[in-house]
Amino acid sequence: MLRLALLAGVGLAKGALGVNLIASHFSGGIYTLSLTTTGTSGTISVTSQTNGCGTTPGWIELYSDTRKLYCFDESWTGRGQHAEFNVQNDGRLSLASSLQVSGNSVHGILYGGPDGRSYIATAEYSPSTITTYKLPLQGSRVQQTEKFTLARRGPHQRQDVPHPHEVHLDPTGKFILVPDLGADLIRVFRIDTNSGRLTSCASHATGAGDGPRHVKFWKSESGKEKVFSLNELGNSVSAWDVNYTNDCISLTRTHSISTYAPGKKGGANTKAAEIRTFGNFLYASNRADQTFGNSQDSIAIYTIDPTTGAIAWLEAANSYSYYPRTFAFNKNGTLVAIGGQTSSNVAIVARDTATGKLGNLVANVQVGQKGRAGEEDGLSAVVWVE
């Protein structure tokens, strides 16, 4: 009865519904997945595999309107590759162009130019840099590199040097935010739309030892802008007020909440991984907490006050995976695809659009070889092709 109740509000189609997803794996493969749902159940399978994004694809970014997928290589060898793929109607990928780079890119986006997609920005974790390139990718050269330094080590052992973990485009397309796990900062850069050049604005300090990893923008019903940051080392999420002043973005932190229920906390090896918003709900994934049993980690769910943007704990949900590094919602918010890094699976989980809660497992598939806990192997990212 519980399963039926949770799925009743999900709104899955009564007839068969087919859709594709794409997942990347740290062993080098990029996989196309096919999901078919019928009523409240579904099946998912791997339909194709390709390479072309170096040895360690770490992040994929899909632009559905142009059916272009960009992949960024997290290779730790001093040599890596960025790749652009065309996405066919059946979700299969064909390599369009690639570029040899220095590697260790943990995130990348398109930005700037007349179409908002004329340049690429990437974040390099260990070199402590962000780097930009001009499209087309083939034959491109480094346009700008920003190197970060640290005056003194942070309180966490991983905070030995700056570790930029994301390049996040703001809703106006005029700024890039860079959460820096090593420096406990959210760095802000202003974009010159024509040249693609980035100019540093003031940075904003998180809590000591927070280790910010990813951020998301959100807007209230009255137009109030917020940024939510996921803190990997602190196992928490923070809310920030946003103000656009003097050609820059100013952030003011208002409050932080654990990625665990009140009175609970993660263990020595737990690490928050990903953050998403959908409507007035916020979601964050926890790695290695095993809240729901052996190799069954959790997704933390929060409500967002539609007026103030204040976040409040709702509940923890089963991710049906181990080390959920990545997750993404489908367009109508009825399903979430959760990518377990160590379990190397993609779990499709029902979502109630009214309550924001996650329900039962709809479909599940292993993609590539399983990883090792705490290591950079296994599944790295997943996106919907819609």
**Domains held by the chain: number:** 1
Beta bridge partners of 130: 123, 146
Round to whole Å and give the CA distance between 184 and 196: 26
Residues 6+ apart with CB under 8 A from 4: 40
Range of the domain at 135: 2-385
Q: What is the average per-residue pLDDT within 160-172?
A: 98
Q: What is the average per-residue pLDDT within 337-343?
A: 98
The predicted-structure confidence for 90-124, as pLDDT tens digits, reads as follows: 999 999 999 999 999 999 999 999 999 999 999 99
Q: Does pLDDT of 281 surpass 80?
A: yes
CATH code at position 195: 2.130.10.10
Round to whole Å and give the CA distance between 258 and 266: 9
Does residue 298 contact residue 338 with C-beta atoms inside 8 Å? Answer: no
Round to whole Å and give the CA distance between 381 and 33: 13
pLDDT band of 324, cuts 50, 70, 90: very high
The DSSP-derived string for 1-24 is -HHHHHHHTT---SSEEEEEEEEE
Does residue 26 contact residue 74 with C-beta atoms inside 8 Å? Answer: yes
Round to whole Å and give the CA distance between 10 and 355: 10
Round to whole Å and give the CA distance between 346 and 326: 9
Round to whole Å and give the CA distance between 358 and 6: 8
Beta bridge partners of 372: none
Does residue 275 contact residue 215 with C-beta atoms inside 8 Å? Answer: yes
The predicted-structure confidence for 21-54, as pLDDT tens digits, reads as follows: 999 999 999 999 999 998 789 999 999 999 999 9
